[in-house]
Structure 1
Amino acid sequence: MNLEPLATFTVRLDPILDLGDSQWGRRRFVAITGGSFDGARLSGEVLAGGGDWQVVHADGSITVDTRYTLRTHDGAHLYISTSGVRHGPPEVLRRIADGEIVDPSEYYFRLFCRFETGDRRYQWLNRTLAVASAARTADAVKYDAYTLT
Protein backbone atom coordinates (compact mmCIF):
# COMPACT_ATOMS: atom_id res chain seq x y z
CA MET A 1 0.00 0.00 0.00
CA ASN A 2 1.21 3.49 -0.89
CA LEU A 3 0.03 7.07 -0.61
CA GLU A 4 -0.46 9.07 -3.80
CA PRO A 5 -1.08 12.84 -3.57
CA LEU A 6 -4.68 13.65 -4.51
CA ALA A 7 -5.28 17.35 -3.76
CA THR A 8 -4.75 20.16 -1.31
CA PHE A 9 -8.04 21.41 0.14
CA THR A 10 -8.88 24.75 1.74
CA VAL A 11 -12.32 24.65 3.34
CA ARG A 12 -13.59 28.03 4.61
CA LEU A 13 -15.72 27.99 7.76
CA ASP A 14 -18.31 30.06 9.59
CA PRO A 15 -17.82 30.61 13.33
CA ILE A 16 -18.55 27.60 15.54
CA LEU A 17 -22.13 27.09 16.69
CA ASP A 18 -22.04 25.48 20.15
CA LEU A 19 -25.00 23.12 20.68
CA GLY A 20 -24.07 22.19 24.25
CA ASP A 21 -23.21 19.02 26.10
CA SER A 22 -24.65 15.67 25.08
CA GLN A 23 -24.02 12.14 26.19
CA TRP A 24 -21.14 11.96 23.67
CA GLY A 25 -19.48 15.28 24.60
CA ARG A 26 -19.92 18.93 23.60
CA ARG A 27 -21.69 18.98 20.25
CA ARG A 28 -20.76 21.74 17.80
CA PHE A 29 -21.68 22.60 14.23
CA VAL A 30 -19.43 24.50 11.84
CA ALA A 31 -20.95 25.59 8.51
CA ILE A 32 -18.81 25.35 5.39
CA THR A 33 -18.90 28.57 3.36
CA GLY A 34 -16.71 27.65 0.37
CA GLY A 35 -13.13 26.99 -0.54
CA SER A 36 -10.99 25.31 -3.16
CA PHE A 37 -9.01 22.17 -3.90
CA ASP A 38 -6.13 21.61 -6.28
CA GLY A 39 -4.29 18.51 -7.44
CA ALA A 40 -3.03 16.83 -10.60
CA ARG A 41 -6.24 14.75 -11.07
CA LEU A 42 -8.71 16.73 -8.99
CA SER A 43 -9.27 20.49 -8.71
CA GLY A 44 -12.11 22.95 -8.31
CA GLU A 45 -14.17 24.68 -5.65
CA VAL A 46 -15.78 23.73 -2.36
CA LEU A 47 -19.43 24.78 -2.45
CA ALA A 48 -21.12 26.51 0.47
CA GLY A 49 -23.77 24.60 2.36
CA GLY A 50 -22.03 21.66 3.99
CA GLY A 51 -20.83 21.39 7.53
CA ASP A 52 -18.89 19.71 10.30
CA TRP A 53 -20.96 18.01 13.00
CA GLN A 54 -18.21 17.67 15.58
CA VAL A 55 -17.96 16.50 19.16
CA VAL A 56 -15.48 17.90 21.68
CA HIS A 57 -14.63 15.26 24.29
CA ALA A 58 -13.71 15.75 27.96
CA ASP A 59 -9.99 15.47 27.15
CA GLY A 60 -10.26 18.27 24.55
CA SER A 61 -9.99 15.97 21.54
CA ILE A 62 -12.45 16.54 18.69
CA THR A 63 -14.22 13.98 16.54
CA VAL A 64 -14.74 15.44 13.06
CA ASP A 65 -17.72 14.49 10.84
CA THR A 66 -18.03 16.62 7.68
CA ARG A 67 -20.21 16.41 4.60
CA TYR A 68 -20.07 18.83 1.71
CA THR A 69 -20.12 19.26 -2.06
CA LEU A 70 -17.32 19.91 -4.51
CA ARG A 71 -17.51 21.26 -8.07
CA THR A 72 -14.55 20.27 -10.22
CA HIS A 73 -12.83 22.60 -12.65
CA ASP A 74 -14.76 20.88 -15.48
CA GLY A 75 -18.21 21.03 -13.88
CA ALA A 76 -18.62 17.68 -12.13
CA HIS A 77 -20.28 17.60 -8.70
CA LEU A 78 -18.79 15.40 -6.00
CA TYR A 79 -19.98 14.56 -2.52
CA ILE A 80 -17.23 14.28 0.08
CA SER A 81 -17.45 13.11 3.67
CA THR A 82 -14.59 13.17 6.11
CA SER A 83 -14.23 11.69 9.54
CA GLY A 84 -11.28 12.20 11.78
CA VAL A 85 -9.74 13.36 14.99
CA ARG A 86 -7.91 16.42 16.28
CA HIS A 87 -6.06 16.39 19.58
CA GLY A 88 -3.05 17.90 21.24
CA PRO A 89 -1.77 19.51 24.43
CA PRO A 90 -4.41 21.72 26.11
CA GLU A 91 -2.37 24.91 25.61
CA VAL A 92 -2.02 24.19 21.86
CA LEU A 93 -5.75 23.48 21.49
CA ARG A 94 -6.48 26.73 23.34
CA ARG A 95 -4.28 28.67 20.91
CA ILE A 96 -6.14 27.12 17.96
CA ALA A 97 -9.49 28.00 19.58
CA ASP A 98 -8.26 31.59 19.98
CA GLY A 99 -7.66 31.78 16.22
CA GLU A 100 -3.86 31.63 16.32
CA ILE A 101 -1.92 30.09 13.47
CA VAL A 102 -0.41 27.00 15.09
CA ASP A 103 2.17 24.80 13.39
CA PRO A 104 0.38 21.51 12.57
CA SER A 105 3.35 19.59 13.99
CA GLU A 106 2.20 20.75 17.46
CA TYR A 107 -1.06 18.77 17.28
CA TYR A 108 -2.61 15.76 15.56
CA PHE A 109 -5.33 16.36 12.95
CA ARG A 110 -6.02 13.48 10.56
CA LEU A 111 -8.95 12.68 8.29
CA PHE A 112 -10.40 9.76 6.39
CA CYS A 113 -12.07 10.89 3.13
CA ARG A 114 -14.77 9.22 1.02
CA PHE A 115 -16.15 10.50 -2.27
CA GLU A 116 -19.33 9.85 -4.23
CA THR A 117 -20.36 10.96 -7.70
CA GLY A 118 -22.44 9.90 -10.68
CA ASP A 119 -20.19 11.75 -13.11
CA ARG A 120 -18.46 9.14 -15.29
CA ARG A 121 -15.22 11.15 -15.43
CA TYR A 122 -14.78 10.85 -11.66
CA GLN A 123 -16.31 7.47 -10.86
CA TRP A 124 -12.84 6.25 -9.92
CA LEU A 125 -13.34 8.31 -6.74
CA ASN A 126 -16.31 6.11 -5.73
CA ARG A 127 -13.82 3.25 -5.35
CA THR A 128 -11.03 5.30 -3.78
CA LEU A 129 -10.16 5.76 -0.13
CA ALA A 130 -8.14 8.78 0.93
CA VAL A 131 -6.46 10.00 4.09
CA ALA A 132 -5.40 13.52 4.94
CA SER A 133 -3.22 15.55 7.26
CA ALA A 134 -4.97 18.76 8.28
CA ALA A 135 -4.41 22.12 9.95
CA ARG A 136 -6.95 24.53 11.47
CA THR A 137 -6.75 28.28 10.93
CA ALA A 138 -9.07 30.95 12.33
CA ASP A 139 -11.56 30.57 9.47
CA ALA A 140 -10.59 27.45 7.53
CA VAL A 141 -9.31 23.91 7.55
CA LYS A 142 -6.51 23.12 5.15
CA TYR A 143 -5.52 19.56 4.34
CA ASP A 144 -3.45 17.50 1.98
CA ALA A 145 -5.33 14.39 0.84
CA TYR A 146 -3.65 11.21 -0.39
CA THR A 147 -5.25 8.20 -2.06
CA LEU A 148 -4.44 4.77 -0.69
CA THR A 149 -3.11 2.71 -3.59
Structure 2
Amino acid sequence: MNHTELEESGTDMSNIAVQSPSTRFLCRITAKVAPVVSLGTTACGERRYVTITGGTVNGEEFNGKVVAGGVDWQLQRADGTLDIAAHYVIQDDDGAQVEIRSDGFRHGPAEVMQRLAAGEEVAPDEYYFRTAITFQTGAARWRHLNSMIAIGMGARTAGAAIIDVHLVL
Protein backbone atom coordinates (compact mmCIF):
# COMPACT_ATOMS: atom_id res chain seq x y z
CA MET A 1 0.00 0.00 0.00
CA ASN A 2 1.23 3.48 -0.77
CA HIS A 3 0.88 6.49 1.57
CA THR A 4 -2.44 7.67 0.08
CA GLU A 5 -3.94 4.17 0.24
CA LEU A 6 -2.85 3.83 3.89
CA GLU A 7 -4.49 7.15 4.78
CA GLU A 8 -7.68 6.26 2.91
CA SER A 9 -7.82 2.88 4.69
CA GLY A 10 -7.81 4.68 8.04
CA THR A 11 -4.33 3.48 8.98
CA ASP A 12 -2.74 5.81 11.54
CA MET A 13 0.44 7.26 10.01
CA SER A 14 1.35 9.39 13.05
CA ASN A 15 3.34 6.64 14.75
CA ILE A 16 5.73 6.06 11.86
CA ALA A 17 9.20 7.19 12.89
CA VAL A 18 11.25 9.03 10.29
CA GLN A 19 14.93 9.37 11.06
CA SER A 20 16.53 12.73 11.67
CA PRO A 21 19.42 13.31 9.28
CA SER A 22 22.99 12.60 10.22
CA THR A 23 26.02 13.85 8.34
CA ARG A 24 29.63 12.88 7.70
CA PHE A 25 32.35 15.37 6.81
CA LEU A 26 33.72 14.79 3.30
CA CYS A 27 36.07 17.69 2.66
CA ARG A 28 36.78 21.41 2.77
CA ILE A 29 36.67 23.14 -0.60
CA THR A 30 38.58 26.41 -0.81
CA ALA A 31 37.57 27.89 -4.16
CA LYS A 32 39.66 30.85 -5.28
CA VAL A 33 37.49 33.42 -7.02
CA ALA A 34 37.89 36.39 -9.34
CA PRO A 35 36.16 39.70 -8.57
CA VAL A 36 32.36 39.86 -8.85
CA VAL A 37 31.02 40.83 -12.29
CA SER A 38 27.62 42.54 -12.27
CA LEU A 39 25.21 42.19 -15.16
CA GLY A 40 23.04 44.92 -13.66
CA THR A 41 19.70 45.09 -11.96
CA THR A 42 16.99 42.81 -13.31
CA ALA A 43 13.36 42.44 -12.28
CA CYS A 44 14.49 39.94 -9.60
CA GLY A 45 17.54 41.82 -8.29
CA GLU A 46 21.17 42.35 -9.24
CA ARG A 47 22.37 39.47 -11.45
CA ARG A 48 26.07 38.78 -11.16
CA TYR A 49 28.68 36.04 -11.42
CA VAL A 50 32.02 35.10 -9.94
CA THR A 51 34.52 33.01 -11.91
CA ILE A 52 36.17 30.19 -9.96
CA THR A 53 39.89 30.28 -10.73
CA GLY A 54 41.16 27.21 -8.85
CA GLY A 55 41.65 26.15 -5.28
CA THR A 56 42.14 23.19 -2.99
CA VAL A 57 40.12 20.29 -1.61
CA ASN A 58 41.15 18.75 1.71
CA GLY A 59 39.59 16.02 3.82
CA GLU A 60 40.13 12.55 5.24
CA GLU A 61 38.56 10.97 2.15
CA PHE A 62 38.88 13.52 -0.65
CA ASN A 63 42.00 15.57 -1.36
CA GLY A 64 42.81 17.41 -4.53
CA LYS A 65 42.07 20.66 -6.28
CA VAL A 66 39.32 22.87 -7.64
CA VAL A 67 39.54 22.95 -11.43
CA ALA A 68 39.63 26.49 -12.84
CA GLY A 69 36.68 27.54 -14.99
CA GLY A 70 33.64 27.07 -12.81
CA VAL A 71 31.15 29.87 -12.18
CA ASP A 72 29.12 30.99 -9.19
CA TRP A 73 25.97 32.66 -10.53
CA GLN A 74 24.42 34.99 -8.00
CA LEU A 75 21.27 37.02 -7.55
CA GLN A 76 21.43 39.81 -4.97
CA ARG A 77 17.80 40.00 -3.92
CA ALA A 78 16.04 43.13 -2.65
CA ASP A 79 15.65 41.49 0.79
CA GLY A 80 19.46 41.32 1.15
CA THR A 81 19.75 37.60 0.49
CA LEU A 82 22.36 36.43 -2.00
CA ASP A 83 20.96 33.51 -4.01
CA ILE A 84 23.89 31.28 -5.01
CA ALA A 85 24.13 28.74 -7.84
CA ALA A 86 27.73 27.52 -8.20
CA HIS A 87 28.76 24.94 -10.79
CA TYR A 88 32.33 23.67 -10.92
CA VAL A 89 34.61 20.62 -10.89
CA ILE A 90 36.88 19.20 -8.21
CA GLN A 91 39.63 16.69 -8.95
CA ASP A 92 41.16 14.23 -6.49
CA ASP A 93 44.89 13.59 -6.21
CA ASP A 94 44.53 10.55 -8.50
CA GLY A 95 42.94 12.65 -11.30
CA ALA A 96 39.29 11.60 -10.79
CA GLN A 97 36.93 14.52 -11.48
CA VAL A 98 33.62 15.25 -9.75
CA GLU A 99 31.10 17.85 -10.93
CA ILE A 100 29.66 19.99 -8.12
CA ARG A 101 26.33 21.84 -8.17
CA SER A 102 25.94 23.98 -5.09
CA ASP A 103 22.77 26.02 -4.59
CA GLY A 104 22.03 28.08 -1.51
CA PHE A 105 21.92 31.38 0.30
CA ARG A 106 24.15 33.89 2.02
CA HIS A 107 22.69 36.65 4.19
CA GLY A 108 23.11 38.49 7.43
CA PRO A 109 22.81 41.90 9.04
CA ALA A 110 23.37 44.73 6.53
CA GLU A 111 26.52 45.97 8.27
CA VAL A 112 28.04 42.46 8.24
CA MET A 113 27.28 41.99 4.55
CA GLN A 114 28.82 45.41 3.79
CA ARG A 115 32.01 44.34 5.56
CA LEU A 116 32.09 41.12 3.52
CA ALA A 117 31.56 43.08 0.29
CA ALA A 118 34.45 45.38 1.26
CA GLY A 119 36.75 42.37 1.58
CA GLU A 120 37.05 42.50 5.36
CA GLU A 121 37.48 39.33 7.40
CA VAL A 122 34.14 38.42 8.96
CA ALA A 123 33.59 35.46 11.28
CA PRO A 124 31.34 32.86 9.62
CA ASP A 125 29.00 32.82 12.62
CA GLU A 126 28.07 36.46 11.91
CA TYR A 127 26.15 35.51 8.75
CA TYR A 128 24.30 32.58 7.17
CA PHE A 129 26.03 30.79 4.27
CA ARG A 130 24.57 27.34 3.43
CA THR A 131 24.27 25.36 0.22
CA ALA A 132 22.72 22.10 -0.94
CA ILE A 133 25.26 20.15 -2.98
CA THR A 134 24.83 17.40 -5.57
CA PHE A 135 27.52 15.50 -7.44
CA GLN A 136 28.06 13.83 -10.81
CA THR A 137 31.02 11.65 -11.73
CA GLY A 138 31.99 8.62 -13.75
CA ALA A 139 34.95 7.86 -11.49
CA ALA A 140 34.38 4.45 -9.87
CA ARG A 141 35.84 5.55 -6.51
CA TRP A 142 33.39 8.47 -6.19
CA ARG A 143 30.34 7.04 -8.01
CA HIS A 144 28.43 6.69 -4.70
CA LEU A 145 28.32 10.51 -4.55
CA ASN A 146 26.01 10.53 -7.61
CA SER A 147 23.18 9.40 -5.33
CA MET A 148 23.92 11.57 -2.31
CA ILE A 149 23.13 15.06 -1.14
CA ALA A 150 25.53 17.17 0.89
CA ILE A 151 25.19 20.33 2.89
CA GLY A 152 27.80 23.04 2.48
CA MET A 153 28.63 25.28 5.44
CA GLY A 154 30.35 28.32 4.02
CA ALA A 155 32.57 31.29 4.71
CA ARG A 156 33.66 34.03 2.33
CA THR A 157 37.01 35.79 2.26
CA ALA A 158 38.23 38.51 -0.10
CA GLY A 159 39.59 35.99 -2.59
CA ALA A 160 37.88 32.68 -1.84
CA ALA A 161 34.74 30.82 -0.87
CA ILE A 162 35.37 28.15 1.76
CA ILE A 163 32.84 25.31 1.91
CA ASP A 164 32.87 22.48 4.44
CA VAL A 165 31.04 19.63 2.69
CA HIS A 166 28.97 17.28 4.89
CA LEU A 167 27.32 14.26 3.26
CA VAL A 168 23.74 13.69 4.42
CA LEU A 169 23.48 10.02 5.37
TM-score for both structures, normalised by structure 2: 0.86
Find out whether 1:131 has 2:117 as its counterpart. no
Deviation at 1:98, TM superposition (A): 0.1
Distance 1:99 1:113 in 2: 25
Distance 1:125 1:42 in 2: 12
User: Which consecutive segments of 4 or more residues in structure 1 shift more than 6 A?
Assistant: none
Equivalent position amino acid for 2:63 in 1: S
Deviation at 1:39, TM superposition (A): 1.2
Q: 5+ unaligned residues in a row in structure 1: which ranges?
A: none
Distance 2:80 2:149 in 1: 28
Residue among 46, 49, 57 paired with 1:26: 46
Cα RMSD over matched residues? 0.7
Residue among 5, 12, 16 paired with 2:32: 12
CA deviation digits over 1:2-42, x for unaligned, max 9? 01111011000000001001122100010000001111121
Q: 5+ unaligned residues in a row in structure 2: which ranges?
A: 1-20
- The alignment partner of 2:161 has SS state of strand
Deviation at 1:105, TM superposition (A): 0.7
Equivalent position amino acid for 1:69 in 2: V
Structure with greater Cα Rg: 2
Equivalent position amino acid for 2:88 in 1: Y
Distance 2:103 2:43 in 1: 19
Distance 1:109 1:47 in 2: 22
Find out whether 1:99 has 2:129 as its counterpart. no
Structure 2 residue aligned with 1:82: 102
- How many percent identity over aligned positions? 41
Equivalent position amino acid for 2:64 in 1: G
- The alignment partner of 1:75 has SS state of coil
Deviation at 1:120, TM superposition (A): 1.1
Structure 2 residue aligned with 1:140: 160
Equivalent position amino acid for 1:93 in 2: M
Equivalent position amino acid for 2:50 in 1: V
TM-score for both structures, normalised by structure 1: 0.98
Equivalent position amino acid for 1:70 in 2: I
CA deviation digits over 1:22-71, x for unaligned, max 9? 12210001000000111112111001101111000112210000001111
Higher relative CO (CA 8 A, sep ≥ 6), structure 1 or 2? 1
